[in-house]
Amino acid sequence: MSDLLFTKRVLSFSTQSLDGPENELRQAVAGQADTHIWGIWHGLFGLAANQLILMTAHSKQLDEWQDLADCEVLSRTVLRPTVRPLSAEPLDDPGIYVFRDFWLPGAAIEEAVSLSSAAWQTFEDVESYGAKPIGLFEPANVIRTGQETILSLLTWYPDFASWETSREPDPQARQRFSTRRNLTRTTSAIATRLRLP
C-alpha cells in the first residue's frame, strides 16, 4: 500500500439528480489503465445536494482525471494512506461514511496516527454499536514540520444510531481520541452515503 495514492475530489454538478453524473464518472475512470474508483459518495449532512465526493486509487503521482461537462472540481487532494486502508479494493458496504479532517502541525502527524491506531483497538468491533475506520490519510506531499496540514479520516457506520452511540467509546479509546484532539486546531466532518454501482 505504501506506493498507492488516493485522490479525493469534491465535485459540483448543474443538477441534483446525480445518477447521470455518477454514471459519467464511472465510465470516465473505467477507461484509465492506472486508476480505479475507490468510492463515490453523496452527502447526508455537510455536502450540497448537487455534489459528490469521488476517491480514486492510483500508483502514479496523479490519477488520469479528465474534465467532464457540467462538472466543477471544488477541491482536489492527493492523499497517501497511513495505517489504513489495508486494500485499495473498491468499497461496497452500505451504511454511513463520515469524512473527518483534522488540522494540525505536520510534526504531530505521526503521534496522531499512532493515537488513532491504538484507539481503534477498543473503538471498533464493539457490541453496542458498529464502527470501522476505513482510511486515515496524510497529504501526499506532507511537510513534517510545524507547518499546518490536514489528516483525513474516513469511518464507516451501519447507521446514524451507531454513530451517535460511538460518541461515548470505552475509556481507553476516549482518552486517546482526547489526546489526538489536543494536537489539532480544529476538525470538520461530512456525513455521506456510498453510491453502489
The DSSP annotation for 127-153 comes to TT---EEEEEEEETT---SSSEEEEEE
Cα(84)–Cα(87) distance, integer angstroms: 8
Is 2 in a helix, a strand, or coil? coil
Mean pLDDT of the chain: 94
pTM: 0.95
CB 183 within 8 A of CB 111: yes
Residue 125 confidence class, pLDDT cut points 50, 70, 90? confident
CA 157 vs CA 24, 56, 131, 166, 189: distances in Å? 28, 21, 5, 9, 14
Q: Tens of pLDDT along 38-73?
A: 999 999 999 999 999 999 999 999 898 989 999 999
Cα(191)–Cα(13) distance, integer angstroms: 19
Q: Tens of pLDDT along 132-147?
A: 999 999 999 887 887 9
Q: What is the pLDDT of residue 1?
A: 47
Q: What is the pLDDT of residue 2?
A: 57
* Nearest residue to 188 via CA among 151, 146, 135, 139: 151
Residue 3 has pLDDT above 90, yes or no: no
What are the two backbone dihedrals, phi and then psi, of residue 129, each rounded to the nearest 5 degrees? -160, 165
Place of cell 459540483: 12
Q: How many CA atoms lie within 13 A of 23 on its CB side?
A: 3
Q: What is the pLDDT of residue 53?
A: 98
Class (C level, CATH) for 5-194: alpha beta
Place of cell 473527518: 100
Residue 31 has pLDDT above 90, yes or no: no
